[in-house]
Structure 1
Amino acid sequence: MSIQNANYLDATIEPMLRGARIHIQRGPMRSCVVCCVIVFFLSPCAVAQVSETSGSVPEDLEIRAAVGLLDARLGHELRERRVAGMSVAVVYDQEVIWMKGYGFEDVENKVPATPKTVYRVASITKLFTATMLMQLRDAGRIQLDDPVTKYVPELRLTSRYEGLPPITLLQLATHTSGFPREAPMDYWRTLKFPTIEKMTEALTVDGERIFPPYKEWKYSNVGYGVLGLALSRAVGVPYFSYVQTNILKPLEMNNSGFTPPTSLAIGYFLPEPGEQPKPAYQPDYGGYGPATSLYSTAEDMARFISLQFRDGPPGGQQILRGSTLREMHSAHWVRPDWKGGQGIGFAIRRVGPFTAIGHGGGIQGFRTDISLIPSLKLGVAVFTNTNCDPNKLTDLALSILGPVIENAQERSVPQPPAAPAQWKRYVGVYAMAYGSKVCIRLRRNRLELIPAEDGIPEVVKLNPEGEHRFRMKGGSVSGEILRFEVDSDGSVNHLWMGQYPADREDDVVSTQKEEVKRQ
C-alpha cells in the first residue's frame, strides 16, 4: 500500500476511534509472515455489536487501519441493507485475526449476534460433501470418474442428446454433468422436502439431463443430493454421520452439525424500509442434506477456512493432504469469458488482482458466504440471518484486506545479505543451443535470469543451493536447478538451465580471469 493510501486509511479511521471502546491484543503469531494490530470498536451510532480476537497478532499499522475501515463499512452495510444480524470472521493462515457480530440473532428479544451465533449455512454444505468425496477418493474407496450409477443404479435420466456418457461423481461435484437444478417435484411450493430416494425416483420417471457433460456449467442442488447418496452408499455410513465424524469433529467444529440447535439464529425476510423484519419459516430440507442442511458459526467456519491453507500429510486436523486441497481449488471448468470457473466444490473468481475461491449459501431467512485468496492465505466468512447478498461483503473484505496483507508479506521477507563477490563472475549473456539468449544479472544482492532477446517470458529468480548451483523460481523452469560450469582458471563460460546448456557469448571472460587472479 502506498503512503498516500495508508494516510487515507488512518485519516478515515481516526475520527471514528475518538470516544470509541478499543480492544487491542498482541502476541506472537504462529506463522510469522503477517504482522498486524486489530482494533475493535463500537460506533456510538451502530446497533449491538460483539467483537473477538485470537490475541496472538503482532502490530502492523496498515492492517490496523484496513480492519478498522472494514469494520466501519460492514456496520454501514448492515444498516443500509436492513440486515437483522451478521457474524464475520477473518482468517490469515492458521490464525483467526478478527471476528465480530453485528445486529441481532433475535430481533424481538434483542439477542446480539456474535461469532458464536449459529446460522443455517445453506449451500456452503456442498463444500463438506466435496470434502467427503475427496477423502473417499484418497482412501481408495471411490474414483472421481466412477459413474454415479455404480452406487445409485436406480437413477436414469432422459436427454434430447444421444449417446451421452455416464454421469460421474466428479461431474456432479463440479456442476458439469448437465444434471437438472432440481428434481421434478413441487417441494419448493409446499416446502415439504422428500428423501433423496424419492427425488431419485422422480428423476428416473420424469427427469431430464439438460446438457452433455462439460457443455455448460449448470448448478444443481439435486445433483449434490444424489452425490451425497452415492458417497454414503460407497462407504456404508449415513451422510450426516460421516461428515460429523470425519470432518467436523477432527476440525473441532463443535458448534456445527445437522440437527437444529436450540440457540439457532432466527432467519428473517428482508423488510421494507421502516418495517420490522419478519421471521422466515424454516423447513426440513429432507434429501437435500448434502446440499444445504449444515448449521455452523463464523467461528467454526474459520477452522474450515484454515484447513484450506495447510499443506501437510493427512492426519488429525489435516483431514485432507495439501495436494488434494489444491486439486479442489483448481479449475475443472472455466467460463468462456475466462472471468471465473469451478473447482471441486469451490467456485473460482477474480477479486481485483487476486484469484479467489469460495461458496455462498441462501435459503429462507439466511444468506452466507465464505471467500478465500489461497495465494495470500486470507479467508473471510460472512453469515447473515436476512435475505441479502453477503458475497458482496466478502468481496469488500478481500478487496480491503488483500492488498495490505500482500504488502505486509513483502515487508516481512528478510533482505538478502550482500552478494558474494564470486557471483560477479556469473553475470553475462549466454546463448542456448536453439538460438535464444538469456542474461544473468545481479540485482539487489540477488542473481536473476532474464531474456536477452526473447524466449524466457519473465524474470527467473536464482536462489543459492550449493556451490555454483541455484534453484530457479519463475517461468516454466521454476523449481529446477541452474548450474554454472567453472573452468580450471576460475572463469565461467557455460551454464545448465535444468537440462538446457548455454554458452557465454559476451566479452567478459578475460575480465573474469583478471578478477580471479586478484582474489
Structure 2
Amino acid sequence: MYCVSTRFIHLLGIVYFIIGCQIATAYGQKPVPKEVQTHIDAVETNLAVFFPKTDSITGYASLAERMAYYNVNALSIAVINNGKLEWAKAYGFANAEDRIEATPTTMFQAASISKSVNALCVMKLVDEKKLSLTEDVRKYLSGWRLPISDTARGYEVNLANLLSHTAGLSVHGFEGYEVGKPMPTSTVAILNGKPPTNSPAVQFVTKPNVGFKYSGGGILVVQEILEEQFNLPYTTILDKKVLIPLQMKHSTFTQPLPVECRDKAAVGYRVTGKPLTGKWHIYPEQAAAGLWTTPSDLANFIIAIQKSYNKKKGFIKQQTAHTMVTPYLAGTKVGLGVFESAWGDTPFFNHGGANEGFRSFYCGSLTTGKGIVIMINSDNDRIFKEIVYTVAKDYNWKNEKTIQPNK
C-alpha cells in the first residue's frame, strides 16, 4: 500500500477549500498564474452544455450548475499542459451526509482505469526481462490454469492478448462486494467463480487474436500471474513497481480500503444521490477495478507514459511505451491497458472507469504534453463530455469532436 492519509491533512484540505485556496498542486500555496486561472475559469464558469446524446452545444453554464443538474456530489479534476500538471481542483462533497468537502487529495475509485496502471506495471517488468509479452502465459501459471475449451484449443494466449482484450476470455466487469458481505478470499476463487464470488468463472468465448472482446476476467488472469510469479500480494507489487516510483502518494490497490485511508475517501452515490450501503463496494479484482487514487496521482501516471513515449527521462523504455499505446490487433483501437484516440491529427491514449457509485476518465496526448483526469463519486458521468470538450477547446487541442470515455 502507498497511501498518505491523516486526519490533519484531510482537515487542512477542507480549510483550503473553504477559504478559496484550493490551488493547483503544481503551485502549492503560491498564487495561481493569471493564464492558468483563465483556464480554470473556463471550466468553472463557462462549461459547454450538450444536448443529450448529441454533439450539439445548447449553451454554457457553470460547473456548479452542471454538477447540480447531473446530481454529482463531488468532482475532482487535474489538467496536464506542456508535459506537467498545471492545475488540480476538487468541488462539492466527498461525503454529502457529513458535509465533508472534496479536496484534490480526496481518493476516488478509479474502476477500470486500474487496468492502465496494471498494464504499466507489466511493461516495467517486461523492461526488466521478468515477464514476456509474447510467450504463452501458461508458463507463468501453476495455481490456476487457463480453462480447457474447444473454442481455443491449440491456441496460445500471451500477456499482450490479456492486456488488449484480445484473448477471447469472458467476464466483462465486476460489481464488487458490499461492505460486510461475504467475498472471495483469493484471485483463483474469483477466476473459478467459486461462491461467494458474484461473477461467473472466466472462460473462453472466442479464439484468441480474432478481435476485441472487453474482458475484466482477462485482466484478473494478469493479477494471478503477477501474484504467482513474484509470490507477493498484488498490491505490494504495484506499490513497488508503479505507485512509489511515480510518487502516487494518495493511491492504493489494497482492498478493502485501509483504515488509515478511509477518512479521505469519497463516498459512492447512485444517480439518485443515494449513498451506497457501506459507502463503497470492495473490489478484490484489484488489477481490473481495485485502484483508489486521485486525479493528481493519475496525472503522474499519464506524464510518465508521455515522457517515456518521447524519450524524456522515461519510466519505461521508449519502444516499450510505443508498444503499450499502439493497438495490438489490427482493426482495433486497443493498446495494452489503454485505448487509442485522436483530436484532429494529435494522437491520444485514454481509458474510463465505472465502479458502483464512481466514474472516472483520463486522456493524454502522445505528442503535445496535454491531458486531463476527471473523477466523480456518482454513477452519472455525462458531465465528462462537457468538461473534456471545454478543456480541449480552451487549451487548443484542435478537434471538433469529443473523446467518448471507454469503460
TM-score range, shorter chain: 0.7 to 0.9
Q: Which residue number in structure 1 is paired with residue 156 of structure 2?
A: 166
Q: Cα distance, 1:299 vs. partner?
A: 2.0
- For the 8 Å contact 1:141–1:235, the answer to whether it is kept is no
TM-fit CA distance, 1:156: 3.3
Query: What is the total number of aligned residue pairs between the two structures?
Result: 348
Using the TM superposition, give the Cα deviation of residue 318 of structure 1 relative to its aligned residue in structure 2, in angstroms. 4.4
Q: Deviations over 1:269-325 (max 9, x none)?
A: 111xxxx53335433222x1111111111222221122122149999x843223322
Write out per-residue CA displacement over residues 385-437 of structure 1, whole angstroms, 9 at most, x where no aligned residue: 1112265256325532442689xxxxxxxxxxxxxxxxxxxxxxxxxxxxxxx
Which residue number in structure 1 is paired with residue 339 of structure 2? 347
- Which letter does structure 2 place at the counterpart of 1:175? H
Shift of 1:65: 4.6
1:453 aligns with none
Question: Are the counterparts in 2 of residues 367 and 386 from structure 1 also a CA contact under 8 Å?
Answer: yes
The aligned counterpart of 1:375 is: 367
Structure 2 gap segments, 5+ residues each: 1-16, 48-62, 195-199, 400-407
Structure-2 change in CA distance of 1:187 and 1:88 (3 Å): closer
Question: What CA distance in whole angstroms lies between the structure 2 residues aligned with 1:322 and 1:354?
Answer: 18
Equivalent position SS for 1:269: coil
For the residues of structure 1 that align with 2:343 and 2:386, how far apart are their CA atoms? 12
TM-score normalised by L of structure 1? 0.60
Q: Give the secondary structure class of the aligned counterpart of 1:142.
A: coil
The Cα shift of 1:58 comes to 9.8
Quote the residue 2:41 is aligned against.
68
Q: Which residue of 1 aligns with 2:299?
A: 302
Do 2:364 and 2:370's aligned partners in 1 also have CA atoms closer than 8 Å? yes
In structure 2, the partner of 1:386 is: 378
Distance 2:112 2:152 in 1: 32
Secondary structure of the equivalent of 1:370? strand
Alignment counterpart, residue 200 of structure 1, candidates 191, 204, 210: 191
What is the CA-CA distance between 1:145 and the residue it aligns to? 1.3
What SS does structure 1 have at the residue aligned with 2:192?
A: helix
1:376 is displaced (CA, Å) by 1.4
Change (3 A) 1:299 1:403: same
Cα pair distance change 1:206/1:58, threshold 3 Å: closer
Alignment equivalent of 2:168, drawn from 178, 188, 212: 178
Q: How far, CA to CA, are the matches of 2:203 and 2:64 in structure 1? A: 45
Aligned match for 1:243, one of 235, 238, 248: 238
Paired residue type of 1:359 = H
Q: Which has the higher strand share?
A: 1
**Cα 1:182–1:49 shift into 2, 3 Å:** farther
Match runs of 1:364-513 below 5 Å: 364-389=356-381, 391-393=384-386, 395-403=388-396
Distance 1:166 1:113 in 2: 47
Deviations 1:320-353 (A, max 9, x none): 22332222112213546xxxx0111111123455
Partner of 2:265 in structure 1?
264
Native 8 Å contact 1:269 1:278 kept in 2: yes
Q: Which of residues 19, 23, 30 in structure 2 aligns to 1:52?
A: 23
User: Does the aligned pair in 1 maintain the 2:176–2:356 contact within 8 Å?
Assistant: no
* Offset from partner CA, 1:362-390 (integer Å, 9 cap, x none): 11111111111222111111010111226
Question: Do residues 328 (structure 1) and 320 (structure 2) align?
Answer: no
Q: Spell out, residue by residue over 1:98-129, the C-alpha distance to the aligned partner (whole angstroms, 9 max, x if none).
A: 21111111112222112111111111111121
Unaligned runs of 5+ in 1: 1-41, 407-519
CA distance in 2, matches of 1:109, 1:228: 36
Q: Give the TM-score, by structure 2 length.
A: 0.75
Shift in CA distance, 310/149, structure 1 to aligned 2, threshold 3 Å: same
Distance 2:378 2:277 in 1: 9
Which whole-Å CA distance do the structure 2 matches of 1:250 and 1:110 have between them?
34
Gap change, CA 1:219 and 1:135, over 3 Å in 2: same
Higher relative contact order (CA 8 A, sep 6+): 2
Match of 2:223 among 218, 228, 231: 228
- Find the aligned partners of 2:210 and 2:121 in 1 and give their Cα distance: 26
3-state SS in 2 of match to 1:279: coil
Aligned-partner Cα distance in 2 for 1:404–1:175: 29
SS of equivalent to 2:246 = coil
Identity across the alignment (%): 22
Partner residue of 1:117 out of 91, 94, 106: 106
How many Å separate the matches in 1 of 2:233 and 2:354?
Answer: 24
Q: Find the residue that maps to 2:396 and give its secondary structure.
A: helix
**Structure 2 CA distance for aligned equivalents of residues 175 and 318 of structure 1:** 26
CA distance in 2, matches of 1:207, 1:305: 30
Q: Residue 296 and residue 94 in structure 1: after superposition, are their counterparts in 2 closer, same or farther (change >3 A)?
A: same
1:292 counterpart (289, 293, 298): 289
Whole-angstrom distance in 2 between the partners of 1:256 and 1:195: 22
Contact 2:362 2:373 (C-alpha < 8 Å) held by counterparts: yes
User: Secondary structure of 1:243's partner?
Assistant: helix
Following TM superposition, by how much is the alpha carbon of 1:84 offset from its aligned partner in structure 2, in angstroms?
A: 0.7
Partner AA of 1:302 in structure 2: A
Indicate conservation of the 8 Å contact 1:268/1:280, yes or no: no
CA 1:359–1:186 in 2, change beyond 3 Å: closer, same or farther? closer
CA contact (8 A) 2:117 2:301 kept: no
- Matched AA of 1:326: H
Work out which of the two has the higher radius of gyration on C-alpha atoms and give 1 or 2: 1
> C-alpha distance in 2, partners of 1:391/1:245?
32
Inter-partner Cα distance in structure 1 for 2:177 and 2:221: 18
Q: Which stretches of structure 1, 4 residues or more, deviate above 6 A after TM superposition?
A: 47-50, 56-60, 185-191, 312-315
Shift of 1:258: 2.6
Q: Distance in 1 between matches of 2:374 and 2:316?
A: 24
One-letter amino acid matched to 2:67: L
SS at match of 1:105: strand
